[in-house]
Homo-oligomer: A and B are copies of this chain.
Amino acid sequence: MSMKKIRNMEEFSAVSGISRPTVSKYFNDPESVRKTTRAKIEKAIEAHDYRPNIFAMNQNRKLTKNVGIVVPLLTDPYFAEIARNLEQRCIDAGYRPTLFSAHGDPAFEVEVLDTLRSMKPAGVLLAPLGRASDRVALEKFCDDVPTLIFDSSVDELGLAFVGSDNVQFTTHITDYLCRTGEAPCFFEMKTPANPNAHRRRQAYLSAMETFGHTPQVISVDGEGWGFEEIGRLGGHDALANHRFGTNTILCSNDRLAIGLLTACYECNVTVGRGPDCAIRVAGQDGHPHSRYTCPPLTTISHDYDAVSKHAADALFEAIDGTISPWKSTRIQGKLVLRDSA
């Protein structure tokens, strides 16, 4: 402990015995100073609990250590989980992450981008809203700030794209369903929020054709990000009107499946792979909640770790000056077999 509080870097450099420019260099990158110097500074930090004023630091630096993490909807545990993962990686790499949610609103997404711009971030990890996003605003932003797009791709935008391999997702789980029972129909939103849904539908159609089955797509109405409710209402409608042509339903995503399961419950339709079950339901995403539905949901899960690792590493490389051409990395999913299908 110390007697008097250190007010600025000047005073700190005095008590540490190191000149201010060197101290400044240390805080910019601890590895950039000699080991003995580093030790002295760190001893002084320990003793006086000094931290430089981040506002003054960032004011003159062309590039800060700030990193923005933007997701479409933080109340969706899937995004919350991947954001948490990314946040940790940023901290470990010495950056200062700040979390933002667009709250499902394109206008808010633009506002977030504006706020972010004023933070002079070294880079941004952005999962766009998708279809509803203001394409022009996104492009302008990516021109100004090194931005890595994840989860939902917008072609050729930003530094690169990292996400899941939706085609593999759907092909793989469709294959599984075909091999273990009736071929599935496909349950989706008519106007999905992001392009992943389109890829999944296409992959379903292709897979069914490949496997020699007739595809059937049930598209339900509903706007916005309340997927469970859309799935529930659409499920009720489909069940009442016998729109499901088979006893196996592959949902475009887990949240839709969760809503459908609730509809099934409410209509007394038993779900599962047992002999006394009426239908099988499968999802896609590996949503954190999918383990706890009744029955637990069979799904194909994002590789959260791999996606976030690739995304973060790619951004850090770009920040460090490694210039590489735009590319799209798509991570394979892993089938999670549970009772629902």
Q: How far is the CB of A211 from chain B (nearest CB, A)?
A: 31
Q: Is A131 an interface residue (CB 8 A)?
A: no
**Distance, CA A301 to CA B293, complexed state (A):** 20
Asked whether, in the complex, the Cβ of A98 is within 8 Å of the Cβ of B98, the reply is yes
Q: Which of A108-129 contact B (CB under 8 A)?
A: 114-115, 118-120
Asked whether, in the complex, the Cβ of A293 is within 8 Å of the Cβ of B294, the reply is yes
> Which segment of A75-83, A236-244, A311-319 sits at the interface?
A75-83
Q: Is A194 an interface residue (CB 8 A)?
A: no
Copies in the assembly, this chain = 2
* A→B interface (CB under 8 Å): 51, 53-56, 58-59, 74-77, 80-81, 83-84, 88, 96, 98-101, 103, 114-115, 118-120, 228-229, 232, 258-259, 261-262, 264-266, 288-289, 291-296, 339
Asked whether, in the complex, the Cβ of A292 is within 8 Å of the Cβ of B74, the reply is no
Asked whether, in the complex, the Cβ of B262 is within 8 Å of the Cβ of A292, the reply is yes
**Distance, CA A232 to CA B77, complexed state (A):** 19
Specify the chain B residue showing the minimal Cβ separation from A260.
B292
B-side contacts of A232, CB under 8 Å: 292
6 smallest CB-CB distances across A and B, nearest first, come from A265-B294, A294-B294, A55-B59, A75-B80, A55-B58, A55-B55
